[in-house]
Amino acid sequence: MLTYHNDNARTGQNLTEQILTTTNINNVTNPSPAFGKLYELPVDGLVDGQPLIKTQVTIAGVTHNVLYVVTENDTVYAFRRRQQRLVAMARVRAWTGEVCLGQPGMRPGDARDRNNLDPRDRSGRGTPRTIYVVAMSRTQTTGAYFQRIHALDMTTGAEEFNGPVTVTATFRPVPAFSPAQYKERAGLLCWAASLITGWASHCDFKP
């Protein structure tokens, strides 16, 4: 699961599922103990973006299946799979630690905050693979808001391609994008050489 709802059309279907079927999952007629909630993983805030899974990720020479999770505190977690189950990063970390996307002198955005995540191959870049994340933050001194796009190495959490990039846009006669007024609402989409984002207004406040 490399993007929101599995594919670029956001259908939610998984045409290559090999294990789960309508006969072996929990339902009224088949209360199977083999499928269902097994555990919880602790994170530092609300999770708005869909958690994503990447299989066969090589980290420090070891291959893992990794679950990537982002929170409203601008934190990215990578949980790795071990012995057929996921384990919390507090015990086993895929990276050397979770990644905080906060900038110097910044703190996570307030109730306006939204994060989204979409791991994809960077076309023409080869390895390593890259996760793209939009993070909202606010300066501690002036309270100014920023929306930034981060490209993270999915094996280390390190920033790539000289990022992050601050989101800006203009449309005459006035600026069309206010980072305090907009939230990155839709899942990120990698298309050819572009990263496409979709934005919604925050509570429809004026302007």
Any idea which residue has 């007629």 for tokens?
Answer: 29
d(CA 178, CA 105): 20
Residues in the chain: 207
User: Tokens at residue 74, please?
Assistant: 């601008």
At 166 the pLDDT is: 93
Residue 159: partners with Cβ closer than 8 Å, 6 or more residues away: 150, 151, 152, 153
- Asked if residue 79 lies in contact with residue 88, where contact means CB atoms within 8 angstroms, the answer is yes
At 84 the pLDDT is: 39
What is the full DSSP assignment across 19-34? S--TTTS--SS---TT
CB neighbour class for 136 (10 Å; exposed up to 12, middle 13-18, buried from 19): buried
d(CA 126, CA 130): 10
Its pTM surpasses 0.85? no
Any idea which residue has 């994340």 for tokens?
Answer: 133
Per-residue pLDDT of the chain (207 residues; tens, 9 = 90+): 888 888 888 898 888 888 777 777 766 666 666 666 767 888 888 888 888 888 888 887 888 888 888 888 888 888 876 543 433 333 334 454 456 665 566 565 555 544 444 444 443 344 458 888 888 888 888 889 999 999 888 888 888 899 899 998 877 777 678 888 888 888 888 888 888 998 888 777 666
Q: CB atoms < 10 A from the CB of 170, how many?
A: 9
